[in-house]
Structure 1
Amino acid sequence: MDFLDVPTILQISAVFNLMAALAWLTLAQVFHIAPRAGRLMAGGHVLRFATQGYSDVMSAWPAALQQAVLELGLLGCILMLLLALRRMLLSRQRPRDLAWIGGLGAAGIAAGLAAGSAQAAELAGTVAVTLLGGLAVRAMLLGLRGQVAPVTAGFATLPFAMLALMAFVHSVELLLEPDWAGHAVRGDLPSPARAVLWYVVTFGITLSLIALMIWRVVARIQHLTYRDPLTGALNRRAFERALGDAQAQLLRGHGFALVMIDIDHFKRVNDQHGHAAGDAALRHCVGIWQAGLREVDCLGRLGGEEFCALLPLASPGDLAAAVAVAERLRADLQARPLPWENGLLPLSASFGVALPAAGDARGEVGLVRADAELYRAKAEGRNRVCAATHLQPAEVP
C-alpha cells in the first residue's frame, strides 16, 4: 500500500514519539503521576524523535558527527526508558549496571568513530542496546512476578524482548555484512519490515509502561484504601474483611489464631517525647512485627496503639504455635529499642492470644477472647503474652 511506504512509517513513528513525550510530560508535571518516571519517558521519546528521521538538519554535518548523534541518541533513549521502567516497578536496584553498559557503549562508539570505523561504532552501540534490552526483560519478569498473572507479565515484557532480539540480530548483521554500517548516515532508508518493527516495538514499550503506570496508580489507591497511612498495617476495615474471610475458611477446616497487641505505656511516650516520637514508635513496632510475620499473616491497626495479628494455623487448634509467634514478636520489640534524639527509647507490648469461634461470621467472639487475654497480660505486669488455653475453636458462646 502506498500509504505504508517507509518515509510515511518513519513520519508516523516520529509524530508518535513527539506526542508520547508531550503526554508523559503532562502526566508528570501537571497531574504529578509518576513524575520522575514520566520525565525520563518524555526525555527518551524526545531523543528518539530528534534522531530517528535522519533529518535534513544533519545532512551537512560530518559523517562521523551524524553517526555519533544517531548512535548516542538511541543509546540514551534506551537508558532513559530502562530507568523509567525500574521506577515504575519501584525497583531498589542501583543503576550501576546501566551506568557500566551505557558508559562502555558510549566509549565504544567514540573509539570506533575516532578510528574511522563506522562498523565498530555501530556495533558497540547495538551490543549495548542488546544488553539493555535484556536487562529490561529481566526487570519486568522480576518486578511483576507474583504481582500479576504470568500471561499478563508475558505480554508486558514482549516489547522489551523484541527490542533485545532486534538489536541482537542487527549486531549479527554488522558482523556478517560490514558494509551495512553507516547506512543511516548515507541516507539509506530501512526496509519496510524493519521500519514497521521499530514502530511496533516503540509503541509496545510505551503501551507497557502506560499499563505499568496504571497498575502502580491502582496499587497506590488500594494501599490507601486498605492500609493505615502512618504504619502501613491493614486498617480496621481491611482487617475486619480479612477476619471475615478467615472465619469462612474455618468451616472448611482452615484454622487461625488472633493476637491482640497493645504498646505498653504509649501515652507516656507521647507525653514525654512528643507526638512525633509516638508516630515513630508506632512505625517502629509495626516494622518489627511485620518482619517477624509470614506473608500469609495479617497485621491490622484497630486504633491508637492497639493492633491485631491474624495467624493462619496448620492445625485449627494449634494455639501453642500462635503463642510462640506472639512471644517472638514480644521479644523482638524488647530487644530493639527505638533510636530517638541521640538515644534509645525502650518499647514493649502486651499480647493476648485466642482461637476463634466457629459460626461467628464476623469474628467478634475471637476478638473479644483475644482482647480479654490482652487485658490479663496488662494486669499481670505488661510485656508478656497471655493465651486463652481453655477456649477451643469449635466453641460458640
Structure 2
Amino acid sequence: MDFLDVPTVLKVSALFNLMAALAWLTLAQLFRIAPRAGRLMAAAHLARIVSQGCGDCLAGWPAPARQAVPEFALLGCVLLLLLALRRMLRSRQRPRDIAWIAGLGAAGIAAGLASGSGLAPQLASTVAVTVLGLMAVREVWRGIGDRLSAVVRIGTTLPFALLALLAFVHGAELLLVPGWEAHVLEGRLPTAARAVLWFVVTAAITLSLIALMIWRLIMRIQHLTHRDPLTGALNRRAFERALADGQAQLQRGRGFALVMIDIDHFKQINDRHGHPAGDAALQHCVRVWQAGLREIDCLGRLGGEEFCALLPLALPGDLATATVVAERLRASLAAQPLHWQGSELPLTASFGVALPVVGDAQGEVGLARADAELYRAKTEGRNRVCVALHLGGLGASS
C-alpha cells in the first residue's frame, strides 16, 4: 500500500474518533440514550486518538514518555470499550476481572519502561489488549444470547474478535520479527496496511456498538409495550397473546397450567395506608412471585390486584407440578411482609389452578376455570390454593 499516505490515514482515523466521541456524548448528555455507556465510549474514542500516535508531536519528549503515552492510551481505550459494552448489555458481573487484567497490563508496561526495553511495554499492552478483546467477544455473545439470530450474533461479535486477533498477531511480531525494538524506540509510524486495518477495526467496533444500542432501544420499547408500568409484569394484552401462543402449542402436545392470583384484602391496604402503599404492595408481590418462577413462566397483571401465571409443563396434564408452584408462591408471599414507612404489612393471596382445554384458541375456558377456583379459595378463607382437578369437576383444595 505504498500509494497511501500514512499520516493522512492517521489524521482521518483521528477525525473519525473525534466525531464518534462527540456523537456518543450527544446521545448520552442531550438525548439520555445509554448515558453511562455513551460517556465511556466517548472516552474510549479519545483514548484511541492518543494511542495511534501523532508523528512529530512527541518528538521532544524523552524516549520513555514517547513509549508510555501510546501504550497506556491503547490499554485505556480497550478497557473503556469493554466497560461500555458491559453497560450497554446490562451485564451483572462486577468489573473485577477487567480491573485485574488492565492492572496487570499497566504494571507490565510500567515495568518494561523502567527496564529501558523497547519491546516489553508493547508486549505487556498487547497481551492485555488480546485478553480484553476476547472478554469483549464473550460479553457480546452472552449478552445477546439466543434473542437474535446466529448470523447477527456473529456479525456483531466479529469486530471484537478481529481486535483480539490483531493484538495477538502484533504480539507474535514483537517476539518473532527481528528489529522491532529499534522500530519502537525510534518512534516510527506504522505501515499503511497496519494503519488502515486498525482504522477499519475501530470503525467496525463503533458500528457494532451502535447496532447494540439500537437493539437495546428496541428491547426497551418492547418492554414498555408489553409490560405493566407499575409492576413490570406482562400487561393484559401481552398476557393474552402469550396465552394464545400457549393454546397453539397445546395442539402440538406441549401443555401448560394457569394460576389465577388475587391479593387478599387489597382494598384495606389502600383505605388504611393510602394508594402509595397499595402500589408498593403490588410491586412487592410481583417481586416475590417472579423470584419463585422460571424464566419461561409468564406472570401477567390482568387488572387491579388480579394476576395470572402461565406455567409451561414438561408433561401435559401435570397438575401436581403446577400446584406445587402455586403453593410455593403463596407461602413465599405470606412469609415476606411488606416493609412500609417503618411498619410491616402482612400480605397474602389466594390462588386458583387449572389446566387449559384443547381447541380453546384464546384460552378463555382455562382462564374461567382458574378464576372459578380462585373464587372458591376466596370463599373458603383466602390465603390458599384451590385446584380444578378435572373438566367439569368441583376441584379440590390444597
Q: Distance in 1 between matches of 2:66 and 2:27?
A: 33
Name the amino acid aligned to 2:81. Answer: L
Partners of 2:136 and 2:160 within 8 A in 1: yes
Match of 1:266 in 2: 266
Contact 1:350–1:378 (8 Å) recurs in 2: yes
Letter aligned with residue 77 of structure 2: C
CA contact (8 A) 2:66 2:187 kept: no
Cα distance in 2 for residues equivalent to 1:213 and 1:160: 16
| Runs of 5+ consecutive residues of structure 1 not aligned to the other structure | none
- How far residue 387 of structure 1 moved from its aligned partner, in angstroms, is 1.9
Distance in 1 separating the partners of 2:79 and 2:368? 56
**In 1, Cα distance between equivalents of 2:265 and 2:276:** 16
For the structure 1 residues 29 and 132, does the alpha-carbon distance in structure 2 shift closer, same or farther, using more than 3 Å as the test? Answer: same
Q: Where do 5+ consecutive residues of structure 2 fail to align?
A: 394-398
**Partners in 1 of 2:181 and 2:32 — Cα distance?**
42
What is the DSSP-based 3-state SS (H/G/I as helix, E as strand, rest coil) of the residue aligned with 1:181?
helix
Q: Which amino acid aligns with 2:203?
A: F
Give the residue type in structure 1 aligned to 2:325.
V
Question: What is the rounded CA distance, in whole Å, between the counterparts of 1:215 and 1:182 in structure 2?
Answer: 46
| 1:154 alignment partner AA | I
- Residues 1-397 of structure 1 aligned to structure 2 (within 5 Å): 4-177=4-177, 179-181=179-181, 183=183, 186-391=186-391
The one-letter code of the counterpart of 1:378 is K
Q: CA deviation at 1:178?
A: 6.1
Q: Supply the AA of the counterpart residue of 2:69.
A: V
Contact 1:354 1:391 in 2 (8 A): no
Q: Deviations over 1:293-328 (max 9, x none)?
A: 223221100111110011223444333332222112
CA distance in 1 between counterparts of 2:216 and 2:182 reads: 41
Partner-residue secondary structure (3-state), 1:183:
helix
Q: Partner residue of 2:396? A: none
Shift of 1:247: 2.0
Give CA-to-partner distance per residue, 1:331-354, whole Å, 9 cap, x none: 121222233344543211001112
| Whole-Å separation in 2 of the counterparts to 1:378 and 1:146 | 41
Partner SS, residue 221 of structure 2: helix
- Provide TM-score, normalisation by structure 2: 0.92
Instruction: Say whether the 8 Å CA contact 1:355–1:392 is kept in structure 2.
Output: no
Spell out structure 1 runs of 4+ moving beyond 4 A: none
- Per the TM alignment, residue 185 of structure 1 is displaced from its structure 2 partner at its CA by 5.7
Q: What's the secondary structure of 2:301's corresponding residue?
A: strand
Query: 1: CA distance between counterparts of 2:113 and 2:131?
Result: 21
3-state SS of 1:231 partner = coil
Mapped partners of 1:206, 1:361: distance in 2: 46
RMSD after superposition: 2.1
Distance in 2 of aligned mates of 1:197 and 1:367:
60
Say whether the 8 Å CA contact 1:257–1:312 is kept in structure 2.
yes
Output one character per residue of 1:151-198: Cα deviation in whole Å (capped at 9) or x when no partner: 221221111111112112222222234631363562422223222221
Q: CA deviation at 1:59?
A: 1.8
Shift of 1:238: 0.1
SS in structure 1 of the partner of residue 183 of structure 2: coil
2: CA distance, partners of 1:213 / 1:283: 28
Distance 1:273 1:107 in 2: 58
Q: Secondary structure at the match of 2:179?
A: helix
Residue by residue, what CA displacement relative to the aligned partner does 1:262-307 show, whole Å, maximum 9, x if unpaired? Answer: 0111222233333333223222221222222223221100111110
Cα distance in 2 for residues equivalent to 1:158 and 1:168: 15
Aligned length: 393
**What SS does structure 2 have at the residue aligned with 1:161?**
helix
Identical counterparts, % of pairs: 72
Distance 2:57 2:131 in 1: 31
Q: What CA deviation, in whole Å up to 9, does each residue of 1:204-255 have, x standing for no partner?
A: 1111111110111000001000011222211101001111122223333333
Distance 1:186 1:288 in 2: 64
